[in-house]
Amino acid sequence: MPDFFTSIGTLLDGSFLQSGALWALSTIPGFPPIIQTVHILGIAVVMGSVVLLDLRILGLAVPSQKISEMTNRLMPWLWWALASNLISGAFFLFGRPLRYFNNPVFGWKVSFLIPAVLLTLFFHVMSKRQESYWESSSKRLWSARGIALLSIFLWIMVAMAGRWIAYAEYIYYPA
Amino acid sequence: MGFLTSPKWIDVENWPISWEIGGTSWFPFLESIHVIAAAFVVGSILMVDLRLLGIAAVKYSISTLSKELVPWTWGAFVIATITGLGMFITRAASHVVNPAFQWKIALLALAGINMAYFHFRVYKNIAQWDDAAPTPIQLKIVGSLSLLLWSGVMLAGRWIGHII
C-alpha cells in the first residue's frame, strides 16, 4: 500500500467523521444493511447504465437503442448513482478507516474505480461535444468497442473487489 | 418435525460440494458473482419500471424496451440463482429459519407474481399504452410495485448476512 493511501486512514481514524459514522451505524436500527442496499442499488444503476451501454456498443444488447441517444440518456443516472455510492460507501469508510486504507483489496477497488470513472467520463464528454461522435466513422466505432470492452472489465472488477474487501479483512485483521 | 426444522437441511450442508464451497474461496467468489448478477437483474428491471412510470426512456415503446432487456434479465437471474443456491447449501439449515432469508423468498415470489400479472394480464391491452408517455395508472402501479419489491429482495438478501 502506498504511504499516502494508508495515511488517509490514519488521518480519518479518531476524527469526528469516524465518530459520526460509527454513531449512525450503531444507533439507527438496521442502518448497516440499509446503507449496503442503497450501495448495491447504486451498483444496479451502474449495470443498467454504463454496462448496458457497453453491451450495446459491442452489439450484444438492446439493438433498437442508438448509442449516442443511450449515452445522453443514461449517463446522468450513472453520475447520480456514483455520487450516491460515494455517500453510502463513506459511512463504512469513515467508520473503520484503518481497515479500508490498509486493505490491499480496497486499494485494488480504487485502482479499478478511478480508470473506470475517467474512461466513462471521456466517453460521455466526447459524445456531448459532437452529435453521434462515436458512430461517425468506423474507426471511432472500433475505438468505442475497445473502450466498451475495457469499461465492462473495469466496472465488474470494481464491484468484485468491493465484495472481496470484507473477506480480505479476515486475512489482514485476523482478530 | 416441520419442513423448516427438518434434519434434511443439515444433510444438505454435509454434501461434499457444500463443504467444498463453504471451506474455500469458492464462497466469496460465488458471492461476488451473485452481487453483480443481482445488480444486473435489478438494473435492467429498473429501466423497464422507470419506463412504466413514464419517467425514463419514453422515446421507446414499452414492448421494444422490455423485449430487448428480458433475455439479459433472465440470463443474469439464472446466474444469480445458481450462485445463490451454491451459497445456500453451505448453511441450508440456518438459512431456512433466518427471517431475512424467508423475507427474501417471499418478496421474490411477490415480484414474480407482479411480473406475471404484467405479462399475462396488463399486456393484453398493449396496443392502448405501448407508446404512451404519460402512462396509465395501472402501469404506474405495476412499475412502482416492481421497484419496491426488488429493492426489498435486495435489502432482505443483504440482511441475511447480518443475522446468520
Question: Which string of DSSP letters, residue by residue, matches A79-142?
Answer: HHHHHHHHHHHHHHHHHSHHHHHT-HHHHHHHHHHHHHHHHHHHHHHHHHHSTTGGGSSHHHHH
Enumerate the residues of chain B whose CB falls inside 8 A of the CB of residue A63.
68
What pLDDT, in 10s, does the model give residues B16-37? Answer: 999 999 988 999 999 999 999 9
From A154, A57, A164, A61, select the one nearest B75 (Cα to Cα): A61
**Mean pLDDT rounded to a whole number for chain A:** 94
**Statement: residue A174 has pLDDT above 70:** no
Q: Is residue B110 part of a domain?
A: yes
pLDDT above 90: residue A108: yes
pLDDT at res. B132: 87
**Predicted pLDDT of residue A169:** 77
What gap in Å lies between CA B152 and CA B164, rounded to an integer? 18
Q: Who among B31, B42, B162 is closest to A32 (CB)?
A: B162
- Span A100-120, mean pLDDT? 96
| pLDDT, average across residues B94-112 | 97
* Residue span of the structural domain in which B111 resides: 8-163
List % helix, strand, coil for chain B (3-state, nearest 5).
80, 0, 20
Interface membership of A111 toward B (CB under 8 Å): no
Task: Look at chain B and report how many structural domains it folds into.
Answer: 1
Mean pLDDT estimate for chain B: 95
| Structural domain contains residue B1 | no
Q: Does A171 contact B at CB distance below 8 Å?
A: no
* Residue B102 lies inside a defined structural domain of this protein: yes
pLDDT band at A137 (very low <50, low <70, confident <90, very high): very high
Say yes or no: A37 contacts chain B, CB-CB below 8 A.
yes
User: So what's the pLDDT on residue A168?
Assistant: 86
- Per-residue pLDDT, B1: 65
Q: Is residue B18 part of a domain?
A: yes
Looking at the domain assignment, is residue B143 inside a domain? yes
Among A44, A51, A69, select the one facing B46 at the smallest CB separation: A44
From B24, B31, B100, select the one nearest A163 (Cα to Cα).
B31
Provide the pLDDT confidence category of residue A172 given band limits of 50, 70 and 90.
low
A46 shares contact with chain B (CB less than 8 Å):
yes
Q: Is residue B50 part of a domain?
A: yes
pLDDT of residue A1: 78
Residue A53 contacts residue A74 (beta carbons within 8 Å): yes
Set of cell numbers at residue A66: 442508438
* pLDDT tens digits, B37-85: 999 999 999 999 999 999 999 999 999 999 999 999 999 999 999 999 9
Angle, helix A31-46 to helix B137-163, in steps of 10 degrees? 120
Asked if A44 lies within 8 A of B72 by C-beta distance, the reply is no
The answer to whether A37 contacts B158, with C-beta atoms less than 8 Å apart, is: yes
All three cell numbers of B137, joined, read 395508472
Q: What is the DSSP letter of B4?
A: T
The reply to whether ipTM tops 0.85 is yes
Span A20-42, pLDDT tens digits: 999 999 999 999 999 999 999 99
Q: What is the C-alpha separation between B154 and A42, in angstroms, rounded?
A: 12
pLDDT of residue A175: 46
Name the pLDDT band for A171 (thresholds 50, 70, 90).
Answer: low
Report whether B94 contacts B129 (CB < 8 A). no
A33 at the B interface (CB within 8 A)? Answer: yes
Question: Which one of A64, A73, A160 has the shortest CB-CB distance to B68?
Answer: A64
State how far the Cα of A94 lies from the Cα of A19, in Å rounded to an integer.
8
Mean pLDDT of B128-143: 92
Residues of B engaging A, defined by a Cβ cutoff of 8 Å: 25, 28, 31-32, 35-36, 38-40, 42-44, 46-47, 56-57, 59-60, 64-65, 68-69, 72, 151, 154-155, 158-159, 162
**Residue B144: predicted pLDDT:** 98
